[in-house]
């Protein structure tokens, strides 16, 4: 039965927000994990752009469609904050990350952080990525049913360690394994139903994981402070804003934990999605491979990667089909409105780009893989400023989006040069939305080594 979230003030022209509470205690959590698009579509069909739902004891409003998403993400009246929104989900595990900061604190951190993602630094990162990717792919054993997502997750986390840490000198294999497990535990803890330090729960594992990560980075921090190198850990220790502001030790650790999570988890699902669709659409795989072969090198520069136009189209389409971050969390710090609906102070807000990316109003035949949507003669992503928003919008738009694109295209270039692969045309990835989306079957592909490649 539909209910009203809160009545607008007397004499207000604003509309109340309607919605449903869902199941006792868990609300709509299980429905979201099972199929978030179906849940969002049901809310859209019943209530339109703005509605409310219950999720694990809290009431959230669902902001659906590009107009409503734009209002919240642009946040012109500064009524919405990131910190309180994300903190209820991932705060205990990723506090201090740029995505969880607001106002002047966010601006200070962003001004410093942007010095770590200049074009020059990304170019240097690509130079380091190439041999690391090459070495990692030497360990892949082509076979039918190769679990691509599982292998890619290991690859991207290893790359994050190399690029961001400059390697972890002195660390044992067991310690590195515990760090990887800690990252997974922190991410998965975000949607815990039990949110207390109870042994055996995701929440407890996430809290323990955060402590493991803090101890790990704190041990390496003095050496990075002492000597400037090109790895991100060292860069964060030495960069400063134009005003001369620098990060404290605790801030460096907070940012490293958040960035390592962001750098490998979101890239992994995008790479996995790309392997799926290229395996199901061999003409596109051949087209992308032809462009990679035309480069004549297995060590492409950042400029070379910019020239892989077909791969860029595929990447954008896969970011549309499976948004690495399906929803973005905010909280209203004072009474405000969204699309003419009254939003009371304290309300949690779920901005859903994943739903926008599947709206037939903006994307004809939205479930069809069609990278040409992004070609210059079509540019369906330009029909609305917020039709395509995998990296968010407003002042919190992802600062690492260009690095992420370079990493993804570099890895795909190496994969195309080394391997052919096939995925059954009828395969549908069983996506698990317990935290960030991932294929619960490990993303099987039939992988074959190519007989000739540029090495």
Within a domain: 190: yes
Residue 378 has what pLDDT? 96
- The answer to whether residue 311 is domain-embedded is yes
CB atoms within 10 A of CB 319: 25
Q: Is 67's pLDDT higher than 70?
A: yes
Residues 112-129 pLDDT 10s: 999 999 999 999 999 999
Is residue 322 a part of any domain in this protein?
yes
pLDDT in tens, 376-425: 999 999 999 999 999 999 999 999 999 999 999 999 999 999 999 999 99
Checking if the pLDDT of 455 tops 90, the result is no
Please indicate, yes or no, if residue 453 is contained in any of the structural domains. Answer: no
Are 26 and 56 within 8 A, CB to CB?
A: yes
Among candidate residues 86, 29, 74, 110, the one with its CA nearest the CA of residue 328:
86
- Residue 454: inside a domain, yes or no? no
On the CB side of 344, how many CA atoms lie within 13 Å of its CA? 12
pLDDT tens digits, one per residue of 338-362: 999 999 999 999 999 999 999 999 9
237 assigned ligand-binding residue: no
Domain assignment present for residue 455? The answer is no
- On the question of pLDDT at 7 being above 80, the answer is yes
pLDDT confidence of residue 166: 67
Domain membership flag for residue 238? yes
- CATH number, domain with residue 49: 1.10.630.10
Q: Using a cut of 0.85, tell me whether the model's pTM lies above it.
A: yes
The structure tokens listed for 294 are 């035309």
CA distance 265 to 154: 10
- Number of H helices and number of E strands within the chain? 16, 14
User: Looking at the predicted structure, is the pLDDT value of residue 260 above 70?
Assistant: yes
Tens of pLDDT, residues 188-228: 787 677 778 889 898 999 999 999 999 989 988 998 898 88
Summarize the confidence of residues 2-31 as an average pLDDT.
89
pLDDT over 70, % of the chain:
97
Q: How many domains does the chain have?
A: 1
The partner residues of 422 in beta bridges, in order of sequence, read 446
Of residues 156, 45, 99, the one with CA closest to residue 327: 99
Domain that holds residue 119: 3-448
Residue 306: is it exposed, middle or buried by C-beta count within 10 angstroms (0-12/13-18/19+)? middle
Is the residue at 148 inside a domain? Answer: yes
Phi, psi dihedrals of residue 258, rounded to the nearest 5°: -70, -45
């Amino acid at each position: 039965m539909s209910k009203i979230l809160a009545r607008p003030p007397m004499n207000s022209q604003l509309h109340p927000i309607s919605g449903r509470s869902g199941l006792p205690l868990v609300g709509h959590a299980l429905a979201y994990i099972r199929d978030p698009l179906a849940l969002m579509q049901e809310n859209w069909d019943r209530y339109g752009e703005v509605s409310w739902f219950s999720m694990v004891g809290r009431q959230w409003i669902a902001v659906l469609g590009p107009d409503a998403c734009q209002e919240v993400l642009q946040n012109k009246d500064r009524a919405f904050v990131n910190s309180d929104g994300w903190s209820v989900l991932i705060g205990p595990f990723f506090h201090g990350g740029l995505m969880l900061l607001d106002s002047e604190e966010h601006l200070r951190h962003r001004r410093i952080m942007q010095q770590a993602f200049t074009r020059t630094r990304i170019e240097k990162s690509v130079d380091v990525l190439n041999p690391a990717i090459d070495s990692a792919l030497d360990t892949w054993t082509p076979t039918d049913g190769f679990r691509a997502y599982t292998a890619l997750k290991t690859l991207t986390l290893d790359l994050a360690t190399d690029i961001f840490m400059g390697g972890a000198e002195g660390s044992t294999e067991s310690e590195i394994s515990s760090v990887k497990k800690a990252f997974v535990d922190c991410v998965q803890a975000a949607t815990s139903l039990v949110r207390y330090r109870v042994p055996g729960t995701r929440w407890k594992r996430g809290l323990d994981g955060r402590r493991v990560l803090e101890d790990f980075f704190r041990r390496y921090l003095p050496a990075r402070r002492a000597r400037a190198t090109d790895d991100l850990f060292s860069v964060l220790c030495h960069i400063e804003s134009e005003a001369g502001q620098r990060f404290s030790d605790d801030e460096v650790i907070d940012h490293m934990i958040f960035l390592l999570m962001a750098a490998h988890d979101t890239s992994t699902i995008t790479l996995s999605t790309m392997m799926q669709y290229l395996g199901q659409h061999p003409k596109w795989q051949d087209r992308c491979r032809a462009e990679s072969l035309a480069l004549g090198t297995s060590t492409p520069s950042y400029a070379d990667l910019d020239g892989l136009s077909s791969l860029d189209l595929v990447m954008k389409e896969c970011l549309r089909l499976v948004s690495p971050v399906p929803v973005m969390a905010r909280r209203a710090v004072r009474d405000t409105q969204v699309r003419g609906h009254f939003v009371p102070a304290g309300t949690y807000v779920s901005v859903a780009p994943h739903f926008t990316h599947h709206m037939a109003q903006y994307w004809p035949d939205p479930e069809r893989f069609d990278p040409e949507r992004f070609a210059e003669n079509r540019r369906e992503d330009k029909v609305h400023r917020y039709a395509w928003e995998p990296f968010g919008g407003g002042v919190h738009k992802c600062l690492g989006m260009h690095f992420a694109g370079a990493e993804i295209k570099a890895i795909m270039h190496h994969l195309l040069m080394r391997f052919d692969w096939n995925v059954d045309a009828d395969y549908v990835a069983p996506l698990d939305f317990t935290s960030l989306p991932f294929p619960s079957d490990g993303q099987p592909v039939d992988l074959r080594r190519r007989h000739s490649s540029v090495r």
